[in-house]
Amino acid sequence: MARKSSFDYDLIVIGSGAAGSAAATIAARSGKRVAIVEADTFGGDSPNWSDIPTKALLHAAQLYDEARHGARFGLRSSTLSYNYPSLRAWKELAVKRTGAGGNRKFYENEGIATYNSAAHFISPNEISVNRRHLSAASFLVATGSHWVAPDIQGLADVSYVTPRTILESIRPPKSLFIIGGGSVGVEIAQLMAIFGTKVYIGEVASRLLPKDDEEVGTLMERLLKENKGVTTLTQTKVLVVQKDGLGKKVTFLRGGVEKSVRVDEVLVAAGRKPNIDLGLDNAGIDYTPKGIEVNEHLQTSTKHIYAAGDVLGLNSQAHVALLESRVAAHNLLYKQKVSPDYTASPRLTFTFPGIASVGLNEDDCLKRDLTIKKALVPLNMVARSNTSDFRDGFVKLIADKHGTLLGATVVAPHAAEIIHELGLAVKHGLSAADLATTPHAFLSWSEAVRLAATRLGQ
């Protein structure tokens, strides 16, 4: 292998999203010569098209929804309305303020060379970028993933939206069929329904949010129907999508019966595929259509090339990609290798109520044949549910037979904040008794955590 100094860079990071940005910055601050290559918009998916803009719109939508139902508190708010172009302007402001979207200048200020083009491996130490050849001693592949349309007859021939493109709509569609009832599908269902869209969600599994505990999907299906008029079609296979005048006709199979609905728009939120079209064979990197294969140190089959984030095929959230990026940076810089510790990485859905879970869920425990104890406390058990007039939600804890916490799910307002004490408990092997004997502030939603822990300990 050529001497290190003969390469253009010490490290080239391919992809500037959460999985690439941290490693590039850490390496540059350690005095390495770093380049970052981005085929799309700098900053990647999370700040440009998913987390930040979606949560900004969801925040506004939830505020609007709460206010509209303010009569029960004595607020005269039933005539409240919204201006969608202004909502979009707010979303753009939130993206701009966050500063991670379109942040090419940030890298340049860190002394990192930037290239806005697709990268393609020519050899294990060389890539081509926009007809230029760049070489490096090490690489980090952090190219992420993209939404893919499922194999449905006619779908390729009609114009459909994705979670990325629907945020650019001039106005919410009058009616929308969402293919996929996972976290993103459910967030967008609630968002659009609040702004008056008639929403249908088609999900192949027997419940919404199939990766969460059963109680979560059951509750969300009820809340979306009762409060927002959303029609959930579980155990449903979409067969055909075709143009129908100005709208679309969606034909699906449910319970052995074929039915169809006519909608203005179809949203595909049923799966992502890793971006692996970058000449990995030329670099000797092992991969499958599901993603790049790495060892426990995030190292690919070519030792000086690492990979992190969605390109590994796990479709994880931005904080997991950031964790992997930091681990990859450490392993690229130091001989003593470390492995990412995922035990306390929370999984979040930013609906209202919020959904957050950490550790193992019940299905995970069943698959591992673990003997477990569980406790579920509905939110109406805590006083805060009265002062906020909100009772739809729960805290569910799962412990092993010794009472050590294995996993937790929270469905509540501020679930994303509540989950962290449970993450800490799972990470450090605390028991239900440890949680139950920790004072929890009166009139906080977190009191439900203490109650659930107390029940587990009994």
pLDDT of residue 2: 43
State how beta strands 305-307 and 347-349 pair. Answer: unpaired
The answer as to whether 27 is a domain residue is yes
Give the rounded percent of residues in the chain with a pLDDT score beyond 90.
95
Examine the fold and report which residue of 304, 333, 362 is the final residue of a domain before the chain moves on: 333
Looking at the DSSP bridge assignments, the partners of residue 133 are: 128
Of 341, 346, 343, nearest to 327 by C-alpha is: 341
Residue length of the chain:
458
| Dihedral (Cα; 399, 405, 408, 413), 10-degree rounding | 130
pLDDT of residue 315: 78
Radius of gyration of the chain (CA): 24
Instruction: For residue 317, count other CB atoms closer than 10 A to its CB.
Output: 18
Q: What is the CATH number of the domain that holds 197?
A: 3.50.50.60
**Same-domain status, 203 and 304:** no
The answer as to whether 217 is a domain residue is yes
If DSSP codes are grouped into helix, strand and coil, which group holds residue 21?
A: helix
Q: At 248, which helix (H) or strand (E)?
A: strand 247-254
Q: In this predicted model, what pLDDT tens digit does every residue of 120-139 receive, in sequence order?
A: 999 999 999 999 999 999 99
State how beta strands 236-244 and 198-202 pair. Answer: unpaired
The answer as to whether 341 is a domain residue is no
**Same-domain status, 260 and 319:** no
The answer as to whether 339 is a domain residue is no
**Same-domain status, 354 and 451:** yes
**Same-domain status, 416 and 431:** yes
The answer as to whether 150 is a domain residue is no
Residue 13: C-alpha distances to residues 140, 146, 453 (Å)? 5, 18, 44
**Same-domain status, 407 and 366:** yes
Domain count, the chain: 4
Supply φ then ψ for residue 378, to 5 degrees.
-70, 150
Residue with tokens 């140190």: 297
Of 156, 120, 155, nearest to 139 by C-alpha is: 120
Supply φ then ψ for residue 419, to 5 degrees.
-65, -20
pLDDT of residue 1: 42
pLDDT of residue 5: 66
Residue with tokens 């002394």: 111
Q: Please, which contacts does 437-440 make with residues 24 or more away whose CB atoms are closer than 8 Å?
A: none
Q: What is the CATH number of the domain that holds 381?
A: 3.30.390.30
pLDDT of residue 316: 84
**Same-domain status, 296 and 317:** yes
Q: Which domain holds residue 75?
A: 51-92
**Same-domain status, 265 and 279:** no
**Same-domain status, 159 and 263:** yes
**Same-domain status, 88 and 106:** no
**Same-domain status, 131 and 277:** yes
Instruction: Decide: residue 4, CB within 10 A, 0-12 exposed, 13-18 middle, 19+ buried.
Output: exposed
End-to-end CA distance of the chain: 63
The mean pLDDT of the chain is 96
DSSP states of 249-314 as a string?
Answer: EEEEEETTEEEEEEESEEEE-S-EEE--TTTGGGGT--EETTEE---TTSB-SSTTEEE-GGGGS-
The answer as to whether 221 is a domain residue is yes
Contact 250, 260 (CB under 8 A): yes
The answer as to whether 17 is a domain residue is yes
Examine the fold and report which residue of 270, 285, 303 is the final residue of a domain before the chain moves on: 270
| Largest Cα–Cα separation, the chain | 75
The answer as to whether 298 is a domain residue is yes
**Same-domain status, 20 and 135:** yes
HEC states along 43-67?
A: CCHHHHCCHHHHHHHHHHHHHHHHH
**Same-domain status, 177 and 199:** yes
Examine the fold and report which residue of 250, 270, 290 is the final residue of a domain before the chain moves on: 270
Low-confidence ranges of the chain (pLDDT < 70): 1-5
Strand segments, DSSP code E, in 25-159 are: 34-37, 113-115, 119-123, 126-129, 132-141, 145-147
